[in-house]
Structures are given as structure tokens and as C-alpha cells.
Amino acid sequence: MKVILFDGVCHFCHKSVQFIIKRDKREQFHFASLQSDVGKDLLKQYNLPEDTESFIFIDGKKAYDKSSAALHLCKHLDSGWKLFYSFIIVPKRVRDFFYTIIANNRYKLARQKETCHIPPKHVRKRFL
């Protein structure tokens, strides 16, 4: 199973989830917020810090964080997004430097959500 853990109160993260859903025609991804019970359980299961603020991509038995999560996710998206996976050759420390700049400013890039988005019925089944 492919699971994406995201910050459930971040509008930027919410838009990212919507972006992924639109490009996942095979409906292979499932979603859970980091703040949810499922999200917390998955963090424990994969030995990730409870206070993580990173985007997490779980692909079977492997969990990826930060830029690695985004790039491994792109590998599974439809269309030309697969090409972004080629950036995996850039050292993780360099990739994560740029990822962290965006992550640290995500609330400035898009306002924090006050309410939780309720997805349409056909998408709701993909949220854990």
C-alpha cells in the first residue's frame, strides 16, 4: 500500500494532496494526516519521530521523508511527473536543504486551514 502522510492543517499540504489525487488515475495512493490516529500509528510503525512535520511517503515496507518522499512519489504519478524522479541523483542533503526552506515557510506560502476539507465520496475512501 502507498500512503501519504501530510500536515492536516496546512493549506499548502492540502493543495499538494489535491494535486496528487488529480494525477493518480490508478488510485494507488491513500492519505492520512500526521495529526490523525492512523498517521500517529504509522509514524510509530515506521520508527519516525512523533513530532515530524515532514511530508512522508510510505511505499510498502519503506518510508521516505522530505525530498525523498516527494521524488519517490513522483515516480508513481501519471504523465511527465515521473521525470522528476531523476533528481534523486542529487545528494539528499542538498535536496533536503531546499525542501526545508519550503517546508519552513509553508504557512506563509498558503494560509493555515481552520477547518478540515471533506473530500467527495469517490475520493473519501482513499483517506485513512
Band of residue 67 on the pLDDT scale cut at 50, 70, 90 = very high
Band of residue 109 on the pLDDT scale cut at 50, 70, 90 = low
113, three cell numbers:
486551514
Domain map of the chain by residue range?
Answer: 2-124
- Overall average pLDDT of the 94-107 stretch: 86
> Of residues 123 and 37, which shows the higher confidence score?
37
The angle at the Cα of 124, spanning 65 to 47, to the nearest 5 degrees, equals 25
Kindly report each contact of residues 22-26 with a partner whose C-beta sits within 8 Å and lies 24 or more positions away, as own/partner.
Answer: 23/77, 23/78, 23/79, 23/81, 24/76, 24/77, 24/78, 25/78, 26/78
- pLDDT number for residue 112: 54
